[in-house]
Amino acid sequence: MAETPKAENLTWHRGEIGAGDRRKAYGHRGAVLWLTGLSGSGKSTLAHRLERKLLERGCVTYVLDGDNVRHGLNADLGFAPDERKENIRRVGHVARLFADSGALVITAFISPYRADRDQIRAMLPEGDFVEIHVAADLATCEERDPKGLYAKARAGEIKGFTGIDAPYEAPETPELKVDTGSQDVDGSAGDVLAWLEERGYFDAED
Amino acid sequence: MAETPKAENLTWHRGEIGAGDRRKAYGHRGAVLWLTGLSGSGKSTLAHRLERKLLERGCVTYVLDGDNVRHGLNADLGFAPDERKENIRRVGHVARLFADSGALVITAFISPYRADRDQIRAMLPEGDFVEIHVAADLATCEERDPKGLYAKARAGEIKGFTGIDAPYEAPETPELKVDTGSQDVDGSAGDVLAWLEERGYFDAED
Express each pLDDT in B92-117 by its tens digit.
999 999 999 999 999 999 999 999 99
Kindly state whether A65 is in contact with chain B, defined as any CB-CB distance less than 8 angstroms: no
In the chain, the amino acid numbered A167 is P
How far apart, in whole angstroms, are the C-alpha atoms of residue B123 and residue B125?
7
Q: How far apart are the first and last CA of chain B?
A: 31
The string of DSSP letters for A49-104 reads HHHHHHHHTT--EEEEEHHHHTTTTTTT--SSHHHHHHHHHHHHHHHHHHHHTT-E
How far apart, in whole angstroms, are the C-alpha atoms of residue A158 and residue B132?
46
User: What residues of B are in contact with residue A97 (Cβ under 8 Å)?
Assistant: 62, 64, 68-69, 72-73, 94
How far apart, in whole angstroms, are the C-alpha atoms of residue B176 and residue B37?
12
Contacts of A80 (CB under 8 A, 6+ apart): none
Domains, chain B? 26-198 (3.40.50.300)
Q: The complex's ipTM?
A: 0.91
Closest-CA distance, A132 to chain B, in angstroms, reads 22
- The segments of chain B whose pLDDT lies below 70 read 1-15
pTM of the shown model = 0.91
Across all residues in chain A, what is the average pLDDT?
90
Cβ pair A92, A119 in contact under 8 A: yes
How far apart, in whole angstroms, are the C-alpha atoms of residue B171 and residue B9?
43
In the chain, the amino acid numbered A186 is D
Starting at the edge strand that comes first in sequence, how are the strands of the sheet with B129-135 ordered? Answer: B61-65, B104-108, B31-36, B129-135, B176-179
Cβ pair B33, B104 in contact under 8 A: yes
Q: Note the pLDDT tens digit of each residue in A138-180.
A: 999 999 998 899 999 999 999 889 999 999 999 999 999 999 9
User: What residues of A are in contact with residue B58 (Cβ under 8 Å)?
Assistant: 4-8, 10, 25
User: Hey, how many other C-beta atoms are within 10 angstroms of the C-beta on A121?
Assistant: 17
Q: Which of B73, B96, B205 sits opposite A90 (nearest CB)?
A: B73
CA distances from B205 to A5, A80, B23, B28 (A): 14, 44, 7, 8
Kindly state whether B173 is in contact with chain A, defined as any CB-CB distance less than 8 angstroms: no
Nearest to B189 by CA among B30, B25, B26, B55: B55
